[in-house]
Amino acid sequence: MAEISSDVIRGYNDIIILYLLLNDPSYGYEISKQIRLMSEDKYIIKETTLYSAFTRMEKNGFIESFVDEDLAGGKKRTYYRITPAGRDYYRAKCEEWTLTKEVIEKFIADEGRQV
């Protein structure tokens, strides 16, 4: 039951992904699972959305990739690491979120109110 539509989360995928890279590098599959876990299944990011976000953010210098070629079974895995520019971007987006939240809530009817 992925309850949150992509329309409303759009614009926050970058924040979500970067948050999960703040402490350690990670990779697509792992990030996808963590988003699902942390949101308690309320948001399940689409694979294509995630991987295209990686490509875009790497192009913008917010993350860097490196490949682990030595996984068991000759598998590969592409890790991503947040850059200083990525941290700046993350911080700016968090501030924008605070602002946006305040604005949007002015247009949300109060709990008790009839609509």
Partner DNA sequence: CTGTCGTACTACGACTGTCGTGGTAACTAT
Partner DNA sequence: ATAGTTACCACGACAGTCGTAGTACGACAG
Which of its own copies, DNA, none does residue 37 bind to, with CB < 5 to 8 Å depending on kind? none
Pick one of its own copies, DNA, none as the site partner of residue 54 (Cβ within 5 to 8 A by kind).
DNA
Q: Is 1 in the site for its own copies (CB under 8 A)?
A: no
Nearest distance from residue 32's CB to its own copies, in Å?
Answer: 14
Q: CA–CA distance from 79 to each of 11, 41, 82, 84 (Å)?
A: 22, 24, 10, 17
The site partner of 20 among DNA, its own copies, none (C-beta below 5 to 8 Å per kind) is: its own copies
d(CA 54, CA 65): 9
Residues 45-74 that bind its own copies (CB under 8 A): none
Shortest reach from residue 12's CB to DNA, in Å: 7
Nearest-angstrom CA–CA distance, 96 and 100: 6
